[in-house]
Amino acid sequence: MIVRLNLSRARTRPDAAGSETHEKPLSGRGDRARLPGFVTYVLQFGNVGQSGVVMVTGKRIYEIDFFRGLALFMIVIDHIPGSSLGLFTLRNFAFCDATEMFVFISGLAATIAFSRTQERKGAAEARQRMYRRSLKIYLSYVAMSLGLVILGLILTFYGHPSNALGGTFVADATADFAGYTLAILVMATQPPLADILPLYVILIASAPFIVNAMKKSPVPVLAISAAIWWVAHDLNTMIPHQGMHGFLFNPFAWQLMFVCGVLFGVHGSAILTVLDKHAGKVTWAAGIYAAIAAVLALSWKMPEVSAIFPPKKWAEMIYPISKDDLSILRFLSFFSVAWLTRLTVARMTVDWQHGAASAVTMIGRNGLPVFCLGAFISTGADIMTRNLDFPGQDLIVAAIAFALLLAIAWVSDQPLSSRKTFARLQLRFASREG
């Protein structure tokens, strides 16, 4: 099925209640022509409600959950050193990787959550919800970090250090466990695999201010965000940190990607209307940039190619492509891929709530527990990959990792009362067996 994404040919009319409903785009394809839910949602931003965001009757936007789940799965695979499945994740075909996708979606999702709560329960409750979420991420970071430290110590003791964990944090924790724990608590150090969570603690806590400012003055907010990004490296070195200068994921740099997610959450309709008027040119530009990025990213796996391409003068201008400080090349790479993905999804019919897509959607719906426990899954998968040798082991290990992510998401998806009942049944069964 082909859906024409042409806003200039779509019309709106008031329904009986006086609100706007969107008629089918005039594509000549009758009842089959429709926009995917997420695309429709983004195109409608600013049409309903004082918050500037359409309310969508309180339902989740499954496409957001799907792409967040896809990003989580790629993050887990990318954290398994040597995994052959890792050759097919985004970072092999672009300057960016799943991190950009996750941060942008976080900004978009935070805008939706904050605006819905603000519309229904008031600004104070909306702020409190974001602050509670930030605190939850912080506590998850502390628990995850300490768990990874303990796991790293155990694996090192038994002679199976994990490449997934990497770094010198095991030695640092062994030398001064109390001091290292304190450094974790104040976010002065971040163990590998948990190092992105402090960034989210800051971004989510600042979401109420960013969202409200974006609704009133989008251009100044974006300009200030870009200015902060420009001097982000120097600002990050001022943050007290153990063993290095500042956060690994520079919050002054990565806030720009989060702010762009907020921007699309509030003013997506206006932005996409302008872009769609020049869709041909935008698509050509995005396609050319994505193709160049793909060629360069693929060349990194081929020393004989990367030795001659790009030419030395070009290489001096392009490299290094910093992830820590969110290089502009990574930033542009993400948006080129995002634009092409938008066009592709608009031409598909996907049941996000059933079938294979629903599994990825459920993982994305429970992003925090999946991410935290996914780090331990990556570590276990790394140990399995390095100590086992049988045909197709990479695919089997990846399948096991995906099944475990799905199990975590399924348990997290259950109502709290159901989880407590399940835990009581487990304890009762264990007592009988004993």
Tens digits of per-residue pLDDT, 196-207? 999 999 999 999
Asked if residue 15 is part of any domain, the answer here is no
Phi and psi at residue 21, to the nearest 5° = -120, 145
Phi and psi at residue 415, to the nearest 5° = -55, 150
Q: What's the pLDDT at 205?
A: 97
Q: What's the pLDDT at 260?
A: 97
- Rounded average pLDDT over 229-242: 88
Q: What's the pLDDT at 423?
A: 56
Residue-wise pLDDT for 34-77, tens only, equals: 334 444 444 443 333 333 333 343 467 888 999 999 999 999 88
- Rounded average pLDDT over 285-311: 87
Asked whether the predicted pLDDT for residue 231 surpasses 50, the reply is yes
d(CA 98, CA 199): 15
Where do we find the tokens 């075909």?
93
> In Å, what is the CA distance from 389 to each residue of 5, 88, 162?
49, 21, 17
Helix (H) or strand (E) holding 12: strand 12-14
Q: What's the pLDDT at 286?
A: 97
List Cβ<8 Å contacts ≥24 apart for 217-226: 218/263, 218/266, 218/267, 221/259, 221/263, 222/259, 222/260, 222/263, 225/255, 225/256, 225/259, 226/256
- Rounded average pLDDT over 80-90: 83
Asked if residue 155 is part of any domain, the answer here is yes
Number of domains, the chain: 1
Q: List the one residue out of 38, 37, 36, 48 whose CA is nearest residue 12.
A: 48
Q: What's the pLDDT at 167?
A: 63
Residue 233: give the domain boundaries: 35-433
Asked if residue 53 is part of any domain, the answer here is yes
Range name among 217-231, 325-339, 377-391 with the lowest pLDDT average: 377-391
- Rounded average pLDDT over 22-44: 37
- Rounded average pLDDT over 182-191: 88
Asked if residue 338 is part of any domain, the answer here is yes
For residue 192, give every residue at least 6 positions away whose Cβ sits within 8 Å of its Cβ, in sequence order, or none. 148, 164, 165, 166, 167, 169
Asked if residue 11 is part of any domain, the answer here is no
Task: List helix spans (H) across 79-217.
Answer: 98-121, 123-157, 169-175, 177-185, 197-216
257 and 104 Cβ atoms separated by less than 8 Å = yes
- The pTM for the full model equals 0.82
d(CA 259, CA 269): 16
Asked whether the predicted pLDDT for residue 288 surpasses 60, the reply is yes
Asked if residue 13 is part of any domain, the answer here is no
Asked if residue 415 is part of any domain, the answer here is yes
